[in-house]
Amino acid sequence: MSRLWFYLTLILMWAPHSAFAAISASISQNPVYQGEIFTLEIEVDESADPDALDTRPLEQNFDVFRPSVSRQKSMINGKFTSVTRWRVSLSAKTEGMTQIPALNVAGQLTRPIAVKVVSQGEQADEPKDVFITAELDKTSVYPGQQVIYTVQVYTAVNLENANLNAPKLTGADISQIGQDQKEIAIKDGLKYHKITRRFAINPSQSGQFDIAPAQLTGDGYKRVNNQGYNRMIRSNINEASQALTLEVKAKPAGFAGQWLVSPQVMLNAELQNKAQSLVVGQPVTRTFTLIAADTPQAALPEFNFQYPDGVRIYPDKDELSQFTHQGQAYAQRISSHAIIAEQAGELVLPEVKIPWWNSATDKIEYAIVPAQTVTVIAAAQEPEQAIIESHGPTTIVERDAGFWPWLSALLGLGWLVTLIFYFNRPRLAVATTPRTATANNLPKQKLLAACEQNDKSQAWQAWLVFKQDQWPHDRSPLGIHHELAQALKQLEAAIAQNAPWQGDELARSINTVSKTATESETIAPLNPS
């Protein structure tokens, strides 16, 4: 899901905004004095014919002087760009409001510019070299609902040591979104360098609030012409935006659960490789993605998974992020965990339901992942090698008894006396060695070999076979083998998180369990007489 949003955003960023080159028109001052010469500048983002500009529509209201043309080429991000610029000197013929009409440049039209023309003796209102505007994308919200505060700085002078303070609001978290956007803008026919900065405001208290204005301070430098000499004039800059008011409504009384407010919430869940079945003992990753618009990432609720008995889960750390798509801010939480089923059969992955308040419709809604039934298959066991016993034909040979029966009787009497003496003396009990078979040791040998190689996958499969061999009728043999249970938990966690694993501890536990089992099968000692 996160990749999808990323690719959509990337495509939109690179999509061309227009099939035509950008064109703009601006004037050097506004208002102007009647008869005073001022400059009209027209700029097009391409290499154009010098004669492409038609200035005849200007002649009705202005005296028009011969234009000058310049071209500029540059390389930006490895791409060549061309700009063609015309400068036309004009002088207004009459007082009052007049207009520079739309002008045609190779089939493209500039925007008309309204011009105020005053008499030579009248005091003209000088336009500001620097000013700030601010706006909110919403003026009425709920606690936790994100508000975008946009401040725009217009400057016709060179700024140095500039500092733009963030807006202030009691009981709210305020942070800048992204980087500043810089562009050339035309305002009242004048050309400005425009800087746009966006802030995210996340209020936590309800009520009516005044947002303190954003403030710009610094030094401004402007080049002026005085009697044919150009010089730089410095001025102190201290400008502020207008104050704005924000209404924060109280949370609805009937809402239950962790508060989440947004105009749009999306919830999605996926099983690893879109699995429709699981295998006993083998981990499968389940990933949930929660996306909400106009919401800070800290407001996204955590998941509370309720799985049935017979299922172990190993959660990863949630991933929180923020991104923008088509100008809309989104917060995203990705939560993944490994599922390990302990027994075969049908497994119901329970429904996940998250309540949220729809700020667009002003009502409660639910983001739901429905319950899903999967089949759990028993792990395949490797067949044990059969013990092959040799039963050869029995040959009976009859011989003459002769002297041997008497000798056997004498020897038997000697053994009888020896046994009577042996059992009637005090002695320590001696345990007999348990019977072993190579085939019975095979599951253990495979398990220990996997531990020695630190192969967690092979170790888990070998453990399942060894467990069935040792405790065929006990489904929970780990209750009395705590060291073994701990070693197996480490193995499961390593498999679930795809982490390195060392088999030493499991091997020691298996040897300890096997020794205990062997001692329990030893023949009981004889009591001393």
- Whether the pLDDT of residue 167 is over 80: the answer is yes
Residues in the chain: 529
Question: Residue 483, CB half-sphere, CA atoms under 13 Å: how many?
Answer: 12
C-alpha Rg value of the chain to the nearest Å: 44
The C-alpha atoms of residue 275 and residue 375 are separated, in whole angstroms, by 10
Q: What CATH architecture applies to the domain 20-118?
A: Sandwich (2.60)
Interval 204-226: pLDDT, tens: 889 999 998 888 888 887 776 66
Interval 293-318: pLDDT, tens: 988 888 999 998 889 888 888 888 89
- What is the CATH number that goes with domain 261-377? 2.60.40
Whole-number pLDDT of residue 15: 38
Residue intervals of the chain classified under CATH 2.60.40.10 are 130-248
Average pLDDT over residues 516-523: 53
The C-alpha atoms of residue 266 and residue 269 are separated, in whole angstroms, by 10
The C-alpha atoms of residue 16 and residue 521 are separated, in whole angstroms, by 81
Share of the chain above pLDDT 70, in %: 78
The C-alpha atoms of residue 240 and residue 182 are separated, in whole angstroms, by 19
Positive or negative: CA dihedral 439, 443, 449, 453: positive
- Cβ burial 40-63 (10 Å sphere, 16+ → b, else e): bebbbebebeeebbebeebeebbe
For 77: left if phi > 0, alpha if psi spans -120 to 50, otherwise beta; the answer is left
- Whether the pLDDT of residue 436 is over 70: the answer is no
Q: What CATH architecture applies to the domain 130-248?
A: Sandwich (2.60)
Put simply, whether the predicted model's pTM sits higher than 0.75 gets the answer: no
- Whether the pLDDT of residue 524 is over 70: the answer is no
The C-alpha atoms of residue 306 and residue 156 are separated, in whole angstroms, by 62
Average pLDDT over residues 234-241: 84
Residue 72: partners with Cβ closer than 8 Å, 6 or more residues away: 82, 83, 85
Confidence of residue 431 (pLDDT cuts 50, 70, 90): very low
Instruction: For residue 97, give both structure tokens.
Output: 């409001």
The answer to whether the CB of 218 falls within 8 A of the CB of 160 is yes
Confidence of residue 27 (pLDDT cuts 50, 70, 90): confident
Lowest-confidence pick of 78-92, 101-115, 429-443 = 429-443
Whole-number pLDDT of residue 523: 44
Average pLDDT over residues 124-147: 87
Which residues make beta-bridge pairs with 323?
330
| Bigger pLDDT: 351 vs 231 | 351
Average pLDDT value over all residues in the chain: 78
Average pLDDT over residues 59-64: 88
- How distant, in Å, are the alpha carbons of 254, 255, 295, 413 from that of 356? 12, 8, 11, 96
Confidence of residue 134 (pLDDT cuts 50, 70, 90): very high
Positive or negative: CA dihedral 396, 400, 404, 409: positive
Whole-number pLDDT of residue 399: 42
